[in-house]
Structure 1
């Protein structure tokens, strides 16, 4: 590693140690953002709120991240990195202490937004520093792979610790773990970074604070619409209609402001690059459909009755798939960047196979071993796709646009997440109701299967000492539960079939582009010869 403007000379001699330390600091920061993904039920019971209220409070942290990101890249060049990180990490400790004692959901949401800001500051700094630990030729590929792979797997990794905590003590003890991680990060920062940077602070010119405020309100409004919209029948609710109008107006004003400023937060010229638009389209599809793994985890918990520890343990297979495939993808791209289209093809092919496997094999009695393979396949597909799609997006924009490529990719991730939350919920709601209505229309006394099942249940419970009336009531309850499980299974099968079709369409499009490029290259060679 060349002499760094960030890392002190004593530690800088050991590149591996520097990278491990940076990963640990990044993990400590991202952990507070992703810590409640697998224990939301505990958070819901703690605040006595609806599921969507807690979902909004947890996701508002992402609004803090995407609002701060374009500003963060400028602030880092002005402040001393060590002092900047230490201030952010100390603020994170105070925010987690606040969350530990606050029981009001509104205040919790505000603190979560600020946690998103702190997460962005630390993660943005570490991303830039990680870049400097690699040679110029491999900087973007290796840095993006290392950084975003941790982002991709952090949710499950921190979920392991969170599930261990909730099984042994009050879930709020998770905050003590998060504070401990940040204390560790502070100590690493003190040992790792130079007290004073050798470069001159970059002037802070005029930062578009009004534009940042517009974007913040627009993103928060969009989050509100996508979280609460499916529960309130979308535009049938006046609040959803008004919030949507506000989001559209605020977004329009933000884009108009960015187009008219000399130093905008994002350079809108990137949207004139067709290759970048196509890359964003792939990223939207990838991030939107990859969240189908949450349906598997939900199925395992609700239908199969797995504990949170079992769900987290199954997620380890997903992480293994991500790590193995990421290493393969990075190695192949380093050897030859022409492998990138092939990785995209194989990645979407594996993702399509994962969806079709779930569609054809989903039953009410799958074992842990049965689900390990599709969970691993999902992680493997994500590992094959994440690095190539990210490199494709960032590499498609001119270098003159600065960090706009990374910023827009983060915006895309946010939009895809909201689409998956609202889309999967709406699909489950509609298809569940459709299948329940279909089943209920067939549940008539004259239907032999229903009568046989009722008599079977009733005879079983009468033999256990229940009265005839009690046995009939319990048998009806079991029938209703069986009806709900069957409706949910059929719903999941339909959703995974839709995912299969979408992935297959993307695969065919990419295959078509590959064939066309091959033909063009062959014609060019023939003309040259």
Structure 2
């Protein structure tokens, strides 16, 4: 970009552009990571229902998917400076509004608004950073940095939440993100001039009808998957309505896109073998990742580890993720076949699941849980960036936008489906094993009688006999539940191991997969 057409002011040193604008990505990524936090773990210290928190995350992410359909149109209408100033100020207003209310419906509305604002704020920073990295691997460097933040940002954001809750209140976390936005706002004011990055195009024919259809489809699908367990699935009219809405509005969206002159999404991209394979691999990847919520549930419920301690332990996973991201960077840079990267990555991910399955005892040491946490991080870091590049690098540049949309939508569905699968699997298996344990409990067993006597004697010292018996029965029931939960997770993680190994094997034997990114 020549000096005359540069979007930066004349005094701005070229070598400062990339590091400065990577800093401005942080407030954007912190908001994104709020939608990517582990809902099971986060709900445990925010005193919220897991389902409500996950729906809050999914609602915002659904709006991010919808925002992607029109963000390029905004790039062409506004110059970069005005665009970023507007989106950043709107985000600050929404964040500040969230500190003023605890009303659930209003918070949902604010999250609804925040979703597209988040993607509109951050999406333009990526091409700016790529354009100013004077390296043939600028795209790979930018994506590696971005997805490294996505994989690790939820832990950093949770740490900020922990600090805010311990020393101030929950709003302090929001204030921190607001301060970072103000820093970014200051950078935009002093660094950008009024020049354009893209030719100006009028802001009309945005195909808002198609966006509305997609929005209803995604939100209805999220409600169906997240609250299905709570409302006993199709026994509830809410779930039936949500399921019907998902099917109807998805169908209407497809028909609308097939018949409109300016479709939001080009369905021809789904004719690409690599796009379909990439979406399938993303689905398996997120199903395997969703098992981590079970680990944190066991840490809190069975091992009784304090949530602050659990948060610190998660940084072993962060170390693994960063290692995996760096490893994937060099593998892709050296043009290693995607088939090899994926097969090794899914094999490592599968073996981390198997390793976890051998740790579900009543007590486990940190030294035992650390290696599989690191291994799981390495494997997911190794897979994430190559999976994205595999999808978007397989199509003509004219279809790259639709390929990106397909990948983001796949991430929304696979994350939500993964949450639903794990929640329902744990409920079904735990109930099944707990019922079996109660049914086969031998009350004449010396072990049972000894434990019952110890509990009864302990409780009878400070309670009346009837109350002591009730308390003892409650403790025994809790122990049976914990044991059932452990057995259930052993089964779940071994199934995940089999799924990962099968995926790795299919990748190895499926020859049409080729490294065409650099062709």
Q: Considering the TM-score relative to the shorter chain, is it more than 0.5?
A: yes
1:40 is the counterpart of 2:43 = yes
Q: Aligned Cα RMSD in Å?
A: 2.3
- Residues of 2 paired with 1:468 and 1:138: CA distance? 73
Shift of 1:41: 4.2
- Residues of 2 paired with 1:133 and 1:140: CA distance? 11
Q: 1:342 aligns with which of 334, 340, 343?
A: 340
1:405-484 alignment, distance < 5 Å: 405-461=403-459, 469=466, 471-484=468-481
Q: Structure 1: 5+ residue runs without aligned partners?
A: 519-529
Range 470-479 or range 253-262, more displaced: 470-479
Q: Structure 2: 5+ residue runs without aligned partners?
A: 515-519
1:347-366 alignment, distance < 5 Å: 347-366=345-364
Aligned to 1:525: none
Q: Give CA deviations for 1:120-173 in whole Å, capped at 9, x if unaligned.
A: 111211222222123574243222222222122211111111111112232232
1:149-298 alignment, distance < 5 Å: 149-197=148-196, 200-204=199-203, 206-298=205-297
Q: 1:323 to 1:235 in 2, by over 3 A?
A: same
Aligned to 2:29: 30
Residue aligned with 2:230, SS: helix
- Residues of 2 paired with 1:470 and 1:242: CA distance? 45
TM-score, normalisation: structure 2: 0.92
- Residues of 1 paired with 2:326 and 2:243: CA distance? 42
Range 35-44 or range 477-486, more displaced: 35-44
Shift of 1:31: 1.5
Checking the alignment, whether the CA contact within 8 Å between 1:44 and 1:54 is kept in structure 2 is: no
Q: 1:199 to 1:51 in 2, by over 3 A?
A: closer
Shift of 1:448: 3.5
Residue aligned with 2:305, SS: coil
Q: 1:135 to 1:401 in 2, by over 3 A?
A: farther
- Residues of 2 paired with 1:169 and 1:305: CA distance? 25
Larger relative helix fraction: 1
Checking the alignment, whether the CA contact within 8 Å between 1:348 and 1:503 is kept in structure 2 is: yes
Shift of 1:29: 1.7
- Residues of 1 paired with 2:2 and 2:403: CA distance? 26
Residue aligned with 1:232, SS: coil
- Residues of 1 paired with 2:81 and 2:364: CA distance? 50
Aligned to 1:495: 492
1:508 is the counterpart of 2:505 = yes
Q: Give CA deviations for 1:302-339 in whole Å, capped at 9, x if unaligned.
A: 2222223222211211111111111111112112x233
Q: 1:213 to 1:437 in 2, by over 3 A?
A: same
- Residues of 1 paired with 2:9 and 2:74: CA distance? 21
Q: Give CA deviations for 1:206-234 in whole Å, capped at 9, x if unaligned.
A: 22111111111111111111111121121
Range 232-241 or range 132-141, more displaced: 132-141
Checking the alignment, whether the CA contact within 8 Å between 2:34 and 2:57 is kept in structure 1 is: no
- Residues of 2 paired with 1:517 and 1:197: CA distance? 39
Q: 1:467 to 1:426 in 2, by over 3 A?
A: same
- Residues of 1 paired with 2:117 and 2:202: CA distance? 22
Shift of 1:90: 1.0
Checking the alignment, whether the CA contact within 8 Å between 2:76 and 2:198 is kept in structure 1 is: no
Shift of 1:355: 0.3
Shift of 1:367: 2.3
Aligned to 2:122: 123
Shift of 1:44: 4.6
Aligned to 1:13: 14
Checking the alignment, whether the CA contact within 8 Å between 1:363 and 1:489 is kept in structure 2 is: yes
Aligned to 2:517: none
Q: 1:505 to 1:94 in 2, by over 3 A?
A: same
Aligned to 1:522: none
Q: 1:11 to 1:369 in 2, by over 3 A?
A: farther
- Residues of 2 paired with 1:55 and 1:332: CA distance? 34
Aligned to 1:111: 110
1:486 is the counterpart of 2:489 = no
- Residues of 2 paired with 1:210 and 1:158: CA distance? 35
Aligned to 1:391: 389
Q: 1:258 to 1:485 in 2, by over 3 A?
A: same
- Residues of 2 paired with 1:150 and 1:106: CA distance? 30
- Residues of 1 paired with 2:34 and 2:91: CA distance? 14
Shift of 1:42: 5.3
Checking the alignment, whether the CA contact within 8 Å between 1:35 and 1:162 is kept in structure 2 is: no
Q: 1:181 to 1:468 in 2, by over 3 A?
A: same
Checking the alignment, whether the CA contact within 8 Å between 2:392 and 2:400 is kept in structure 1 is: no
Aligned pair count?
509
Checking the alignment, whether the CA contact within 8 Å between 2:274 and 2:513 is kept in structure 1 is: no
